[in-house]
Chains A and B, each alone.
Chain A
């Protein structure tokens, strides 16, 4: 099926600080199933990039294979995308990031793409603290091959065909915290109010920003008995906090009661303001984040919001000590040592 997207733009569409309308951040019309959670996430990405006034071409979208990995075509149409191979988005994103540190990198993946075939690369992208937003559209099943359980399907969750998943799930958020990811969040595709500020915060985080978004598969995993259905997730969601993302130049408006506010200053001076709904949890403390996730799990709740953030560590470029100028902008002048240096090298071998 071919969709032609209308190019008409209302002249009074609001523009952001750099003069773009929301339209400039949209992509092709989605060919995912109507009602797919993934499309809501695409919309949230569009909104976050518009709000932050990011130039569309300064974003690179990289994905693996699967329904989720198709979405980069459906947002930020003026940005370059790379729909690569199954489970290997992290390595492609790592290489791309090394080539040019100045772009915003969206790594888009699914639960099959990350928690099964791509587990190894996911783990190592975290270890390296690659500066990227790593977004998993998690629906607990393989949609594109018609509904098989994925590794994030909960034990006891019922598939559309009626079978019960007997295996323990991979909990990506706790895994990310455990591995030392420097930004870990969890959200729900149906909660745009929470997702948009989370994505903004993730973009501003310098380092590996992981967002696990529960994103129901309306076709294969939205049935009664599934723990990844819209109804189930809505009933079992437990927010850690209400999050505001505060741009660098803005005043902080304190709307909350003193003591309930947690503030996090990011590398670039922007701030996160968290209205905590969970008293025993401190987003800057790894142990308490881990405890909060495990407590929620024991209560069969899905904890959402920003779970953990650590801003003290440098990203992969800081670790490697690469030049401030992106490597892909360097010319032969900086890169080629020239014939004279070669004479000296030859002398070392004779």
Chain B
């Protein structure tokens, strides 16, 4: 069926469209869809794939959305230009998801019911199942190659270079070469069908560019795992939880290659799958206490469980690193959807007066760098550092600057006393503020036979680590922890300010995976005459630059992906900022935030507050 094409197509567009694949989970679609995205990347064109998957292993609907952007915008975009709908369960919904004038590719082996026909989109039916049954005999191949057939069809419709696909298949099946030929055959089946049956290419399609340069396509969890290897982590304890599991798996994979002694075959790391998240963080604290760099990775429910230990890390001043790959909460929430909703939980985790250092990477490269950095900060400040990523950053592939490491960089283990230093000093006091920065000196068990030993505890103690219930000693200690917090403020990564000088009355502030879409929204608004200054937060506590940025604007839009404007609250609390200064822009439906949503929300606010003319608001978005 080539269906009701009575809609005027948009003018021809090169390298600017969104394709969505609607598949059944567990049918091998992921590798075919990735092949499609990677081919575009190899053609030098910026691409952003997003896997929208269920909490399920086999059978439920799953989607894969690929945005292509000549301008290099890497956030999600609304408006799907082409849907490949091969899942009967979600078929009706998938048809509705195509923008007016867009395309639907479907399996035309079985006749489609008339009431599924929309007048305003193009239908491209390809008898995928029939083709598979004709050309392949193995039942598994018949299922798998259906996916490859539609990639072959798309290669013609969207002008993907066939040689690029061939190269990628050769790379994918290196060592299993006999699988290459049937894959190529399936690609050609799809391609030939389009060549014979349809007009091609579509009004939107691809053209080779040189916009990718040295960039890599990688997910954030892989980058965190690799960052931990480079950061010198030797003990990893973890408990499986989506979407963080692949952080530990990536560490294991990279360490298995890079951290094994060539002579003895022994491992220069230990990785333990713990019995739960409590045990995972307990092991991390035990290992750090004993002088190893150690981390765990989890998601919100795991952080909830770790609360008691987190307080111990803070109060007993034991370094620890925790990667929180956030997902949609509360409770079990939507385990396979993204959010930035653990911000307050992580910032103030545990009972009593506690606060913790948070780092907010927004690209895989930053995941790598900030994971490595978190070990330095945790050891230097002798406290917990939480790396706040999320499902979108952690599990989706992102186009990123390549990873870099300065070979001159040496690990800074912080204030740790050696045997010699202990030998030559007077009385050692574990919690004495010798340098006036709130950071005391620590000793590692086993250092000196008679000096430097003490009992680490979560109970109150004096400067010499002796148990005490003396109210003054307790308060002195709590105040020193606050002094340490102020030291941390200027040690954590500074925010990225997008202009050298503030130029506008209004600003936008964002962090993590809200970054790409916020940057794009800023451009959208600027093109329509609404100028905004921008700052990207990289860490909590917030340093003076953040305070200055907010102070020098009439209002600042705080863009985030949670319901309760959590970072906004944190800004108000940490910097004593008046609530009316900070306008929340919130997306919390579990899907990555889009530039259209942000631009629309900001314009709408400015209009309501009469900062924007009605006509301007209307025409803008």
Type the 1/0 row for A75-108, where 1 means its CB is closer than 8 Å to any CB of B: 0011111111100101111111111101100000
Question: Does the CB pair A83–B456 fall under 8 Å?
Answer: yes
Known: A84-B458, A322-B270, A323-B261. A346 touches B234 (CB 8 A): no
Complexed CA–CA distance, A346 and B368 (Å): 12
Question: Does the CB pair A103–B446 fall under 8 Å?
Answer: yes
Type the 1/0 row for A58-87, where 1 means its CB is closer than 8 Å to any CB of B: 101110000000001100011111111100
| Complex interface: chain A residues within 8 A of B292 (CB) | 98-100, 327-328
Question: Does the CB pair A57–B450 fall under 8 Å?
Answer: yes
Option from B216, B259, B291, B455 in Cβ contact (under 8 Å) with A328: B291
Question: Does the CB pair B269–A327 fall under 8 Å?
Answer: yes
Question: Does the CB pair B287–A339 fall under 8 Å?
Answer: no
Option from B41, B237, B259, B282 in Cβ contact (under 8 Å) with A84: B282
| Chain B 268-321 interface residues, beta-carbon cutoff 8 Å to A | 268-272, 274-276, 278-292, 294, 308-309, 312
Question: Does the CB pair A92–B283 fall under 8 Å?
Answer: yes
Question: Does the CB pair A82–B309 fall under 8 Å?
Answer: no
| Complex interface: chain B residues within 8 A of A322 (CB) | 266-270
In this assembly, does A256 line the interface, its C-beta being within 8 Å of a C-beta of chain B? no
Question: Does the CB pair B232–A99 fall under 8 Å?
Answer: no
In this assembly, does A324 line the interface, its C-beta being within 8 Å of a C-beta of chain B? yes
Number of A-B contacts (CB under 8 A): 235
Question: Does the CB pair A349–B445 fall under 8 Å?
Answer: no
| Complex interface: chain B residues within 8 A of A30 (CB) | none
Question: Does the CB pair A85–B290 fall under 8 Å?
Answer: no
In this assembly, does B217 line the interface, its C-beta being within 8 Å of a C-beta of chain A? yes
Question: Does the CB pair B449–A121 fall under 8 Å?
Answer: no
Complexed CA–CA distance, A91 and B312 (Å): 14
Question: Does the CB pair B270–A83 fall under 8 Å?
Answer: no
Known: A327-B269, A332-B410. A93 touches B234 (CB 8 A): no
Question: Does the CB pair A350–B217 fall under 8 Å?
Answer: yes
Question: Does the CB pair B270–A91 fall under 8 Å?
Answer: no
In this assembly, does B230 line the interface, its C-beta being within 8 Å of a C-beta of chain A? yes
Nearest CB of B to A119, in Å: 11
Known: A56-B450, A57-B446, A60-B290. A94 touches B283 (CB 8 A): yes
Complexed CA–CA distance, A95 and B404 (Å): 30
Question: Does the CB pair A100–B458 fall under 8 Å?
Answer: no
Name the CB-closest residue of B to A80.
B445
In this assembly, does A335 line the interface, its C-beta being within 8 Å of a C-beta of chain B? yes
Option from B212, B218, B287, B456 in Cβ contact (under 8 Å) with A81: B456
Question: Does the CB pair A98–B289 fall under 8 Å?
Answer: no
| Complex interface: chain B residues within 8 A of A91 (CB) | 237, 274, 278-283, 286
| Chain A 110-129 interface residues, beta-carbon cutoff 8 Å to B | 120-121, 123-124, 128
Complexed CA–CA distance, A123 and B276 (Å): 12
Type the 1/0 row for B234-273, where 1 means its CB is closer than 8 Å to any CB of A: 1101000000000000000010001101001111111110
In this assembly, does B198 line the interface, its C-beta being within 8 Å of a C-beta of chain A? no
Known: A95-B283, A98-B287, A332-B232. A83 touches B403 (CB 8 A): no
Name the CB-closest residue of B to A338.
B407
Question: Does the CB pair A83–B459 fall under 8 Å?
Answer: yes
In this assembly, does A320 line the interface, its C-beta being within 8 Å of a C-beta of chain B? yes
In this assembly, does B229 line the interface, its C-beta being within 8 Å of a C-beta of chain A? yes
Nearest CB of B to A4, in Å: 12
Type the 1/0 row for A24-48, where 1 means its CB is closer than 8 Å to any CB of B: 1000100000000000000000000
Residue in A62, A80, A99, A338 whose Cβ sees the most chain B Cβ within 10 Å: A99
| Complex interface: chain B residues within 8 A of A317 (CB) | 270
Nearest CB of A to B31, in Å: 16
Option from A58, A80, A88 in Cβ contact (under 8 Å) with B282: A88
Complexed CA–CA distance, A350 and B218 (Å): 9
Nearest CB of B to A31, in Å: 9
Question: Does the CB pair A78–B453 fall under 8 Å?
Answer: yes
Question: Does the CB pair B217–A349 fall under 8 Å?
Answer: yes
In this assembly, does A337 line the interface, its C-beta being within 8 Å of a C-beta of chain B? yes
Question: Does the CB pair B308–A323 fall under 8 Å?
Answer: no
Question: Does the CB pair B286–A92 fall under 8 Å?
Answer: yes
Nearest CB of B to A78, in Å: 5
| Complex interface: chain B residues within 8 A of A56 (CB) | 449-450, 453
Type the 1/0 row for A184-200, where 1 means its CB is closer than 8 Å to any CB of B: 00000000000000000
Name the CB-closest residue of A to B281.
A91
Option from A88, A120, A124, A335 in Cβ contact (under 8 Å) with B259: A335
Complexed CA–CA distance, A336 and B411 (Å): 10
Question: Does the CB pair B285–A73 fall under 8 Å?
Answer: no
Question: Does the CB pair B290–A95 fall under 8 Å?
Answer: yes
In this assembly, does A161 line the interface, its C-beta being within 8 Å of a C-beta of chain B? no
In this assembly, does B406 line the interface, its C-beta being within 8 Å of a C-beta of chain A? yes
In this assembly, does B447 line the interface, its C-beta being within 8 Å of a C-beta of chain A? yes
In this assembly, does B457 line the interface, its C-beta being within 8 Å of a C-beta of chain A? yes
In this assembly, does B553 line the interface, its C-beta being within 8 Å of a C-beta of chain A? no
Question: Does the CB pair B309–A88 fall under 8 Å?
Answer: yes
Option from B274, B403, B450, B458 in Cβ contact (under 8 Å) with A85: B458
Question: Does the CB pair A85–B309 fall under 8 Å?
Answer: yes
Option from B267, B285, B402, B403 in Cβ contact (under 8 Å) with A95: B285
Question: Does the CB pair B232–A58 fall under 8 Å?
Answer: no
Known: A57-B447, A350-B216. A121 touches B458 (CB 8 A): no
| Chain A 302-350 interface residues, beta-carbon cutoff 8 Å to B | 316-317, 320-324, 327-328, 330-332, 334-339, 341-342, 345-346, 349-350
Complexed CA–CA distance, A60 and B212 (Å): 53
Complexed CA–CA distance, A211 and B410 (Å): 44
In this assembly, does A55 line the interface, its C-beta being within 8 Å of a C-beta of chain B? yes
Question: Does the CB pair A349–B218 fall under 8 Å?
Answer: yes
In this assembly, does B467 line the interface, its C-beta being within 8 Å of a C-beta of chain A? yes
Complexed CA–CA distance, A97 and B285 (Å): 11
Option from B268, B272, B449 in Cβ contact (under 8 Å) with A98: B272
Complexed CA–CA distance, A84 and B455 (Å): 10
Known: A73-B455, A93-B286, A327-B270. A349 touches B216 (CB 8 A): yes
Complexed CA–CA distance, A56 and B447 (Å): 11
Question: Does the CB pair B269–A80 fall under 8 Å?
Answer: no
Option from B218, B268, B443, B466 in Cβ contact (under 8 Å) with A330: B268
Complexed CA–CA distance, A72 and B459 (Å): 14
Residue in A62, A91, A123 whose Cβ sees the most chain B Cβ within 10 Å: A91
Nearest CB of B to A86, in Å: 8
In this assembly, does B454 line the interface, its C-beta being within 8 Å of a C-beta of chain A? yes
Question: Does the CB pair B234–A99 fall under 8 Å?
Answer: yes
Complexed CA–CA distance, A302 and B466 (Å): 38
Name the CB-closest residue of A to B222.
A349
Question: Does the CB pair B286–A99 fall under 8 Å?
Answer: yes
Complexed CA–CA distance, A236 and B449 (Å): 42
Complexed CA–CA distance, A60 and B289 (Å): 11
Chain A residues within CB distance 8 Å of chain B: 24, 28, 55-58, 60-62, 72-73, 77-85, 88, 90-100, 102-103, 120-121, 123-124, 128, 316-317, 320-324, 327-328, 330-332, 334-339, 341-342, 345-346, 349-350
Known A99-B289, A100-B290, A349-B402; further 5 A-B contacts with Cβ < 8 A? A62-B286, A83-B455, A88-B308, A95-B282, A327-B235
Interchain Cβ contacts under 8 Å between A and B, 7 examples: A92-B285, A95-B287, A98-B286, A99-B292, A100-B292, A327-B292, A350-B212
- 8 A-B pairs closest in CB distance: A95-B286, A91-B282, A95-B283, A99-B292, A81-B455, A80-B445, A349-B216, A328-B291
Chain B residues within CB distance 8 Å of chain A: 41, 212, 214-218, 226, 229-230, 232, 234-235, 237, 254, 258-259, 261, 264-272, 274-276, 278-292, 294, 308-309, 312, 402-407, 410-411, 443-450, 452-459, 466-467
